[in-house]
């Protein structure tokens, strides 16, 4: 069996948030409150330990071609854990709580997680987080329990426009590339795939996206990278600073002729 994952086509998303509701209902995740954020129509704010799908509303002002005035174009994207080929969270976990299961998904075993939180800063996408009550980390399981009995994940099942599709990742990538070509032929030249055939340290994403604007517009990193990518530059900076301090100290203590 190949790896299973998601293809999220943002051009089909209508912002209904059915995926958010279905995810919370199936996984019995508590509500996050009902406070107005003032950030467009998005009051979910971000992914977290009790929010495993998040539909982002991005208002994109532009001028109409007839110059009749400004209007608002919408970018909508249902964000989720990327289930990376090289997951930073799994590498950082000291207890072995985070594994790649038989479906190729990154899964946090709640009975082994000790709440250390090392995984949280190790995710370049800011996906995984700790619950406030016991400190354990939680994120999208790609509906592991549903997959085991042959049912697609709740979010994909609930999506009315098939913006979220679930299946074998290789097949999804082939389908997604065809979708990009179709959009290009229709004049949507800005369409591209995020998380496919990209040369980054996280590797390909098993939950990838079709976007029409820069990744940063959707609160995604332009070039995601694992924390260990910073080790070489951090070591070099420390070496330069240590050398400078040592040299300065030696010069200051050097005996001078009176």
The number of angstroms, rounded, from the C-alpha of 189 to the middle of its chain's C-alpha atoms is: 24
What is the rounded distance in angstroms from the CA atom of residue 77 to the CA atom of residue 58?
Answer: 8
Phi, psi of 248 (to 5 degrees): -65, -40
Please give the torsion angle defined by the CA atoms of residues 103, 47, 29 and 16, in that order, rounded to the nearest 10 degrees.
Answer: -90
- Residue 188 known to bind ligand: no
Structure-token pair, residue 162: 């098939």
Confirm if 56 and 42 have CB atoms less than 8 A apart: yes
- Residue 206 known to bind ligand: no
- Residue 231 known to bind ligand: no
**Helix or strand run (H / E) with residue 235:** helix 231-253
- Residue 155 known to bind ligand: yes
229, HSE (Cβ side, Cα atoms, 13 Å):
13
- Residue 67 known to bind ligand: no
- Residue 140 known to bind ligand: yes
Q: How far is CA 12 from CA 30, 110, 188, 206, in A?
A: 28, 34, 13, 19
Q: Vertex 23, ends 10 and 226: CA angle to 5°?
A: 65
- Residue 19 known to bind ligand: yes
What is the rounded distance in angstroms from the CA atom of residue 243 to the CA atom of residue 73?
Answer: 53
Confirm if 76 and 14 have CB atoms less than 8 A apart: yes
- Residue 16 known to bind ligand: yes
- Residue 250 known to bind ligand: no
- Residue 144 known to bind ligand: no
- Residue 84 known to bind ligand: yes
- Residue 143 known to bind ligand: yes
Structure-token pair, residue 228: 């260990």
Residue in the structure block whose two tokens are 């003032």: 38
Q: Among residues 135, 124, 133, which one has the least CA distance to residue 30?
A: 133
- Residue 161 known to bind ligand: no
Binding-site positions read: 13, 16, 19, 23, 81, 84, 89, 93, 113, 116, 119, 123, 140, 143, 155, 159
Binding-site positions for [4Fe-4S] cluster read: 13, 16, 19, 23, 81, 84, 89, 93, 113, 116, 119, 123, 140, 143, 155, 159
């Amino acid at each position: 069996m190949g790896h299973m994952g998601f293809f999220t086509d943002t051009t089909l998303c209508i912002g209904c948030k059915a995926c958010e509701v279905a995810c919370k209902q199936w996984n019995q995740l508590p509500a996050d409150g009902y406070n107005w954020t003032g950030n467009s129509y998005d009051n979910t704010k971000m992914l977290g330990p009790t929010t495993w799908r998040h539909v982002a509303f991005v208002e994109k002002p532009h001028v109409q071609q007839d110059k009749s005035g400004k209007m608002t174009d919408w970018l909508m994207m249902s964000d989720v854990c990327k289930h990376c080929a090289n997951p930073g969270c799994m590498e950082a976990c000291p207890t072995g709580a985070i594994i790649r299961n038989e479906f190729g998904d990154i899964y946090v075993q709640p009975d082994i997680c000790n709440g250390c939180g090392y995984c949280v800063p190790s995710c370049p996408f800011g996906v995984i987080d700790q619950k406030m009550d016991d400190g354990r980390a939680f994120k999208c399981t790609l509906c592991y329990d549903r997959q085991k009995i042959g049912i697609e994940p709740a979010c994909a099942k609930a999506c009315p426009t098939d913006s979220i599709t679930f299946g074998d990742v290789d097949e999804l990538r082939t389908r997604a590339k065809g979708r990009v070509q179709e959009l290009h032929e229709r004049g949507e030249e800005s369409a591209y795939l995020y998380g496919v055939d990209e040369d980054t340290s996280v590797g390909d994403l098993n939950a990838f996206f079709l976007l029409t604007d820069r990744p940063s517009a959707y609160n995604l990193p332009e070039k995601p990278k694992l924390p260990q990518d910073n080790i070489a530059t951090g070591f070099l900076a420390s070496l330069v600073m240590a050398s400078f301090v040592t040299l300065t100290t030696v010069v200051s203590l050097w005996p001078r002729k009176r």
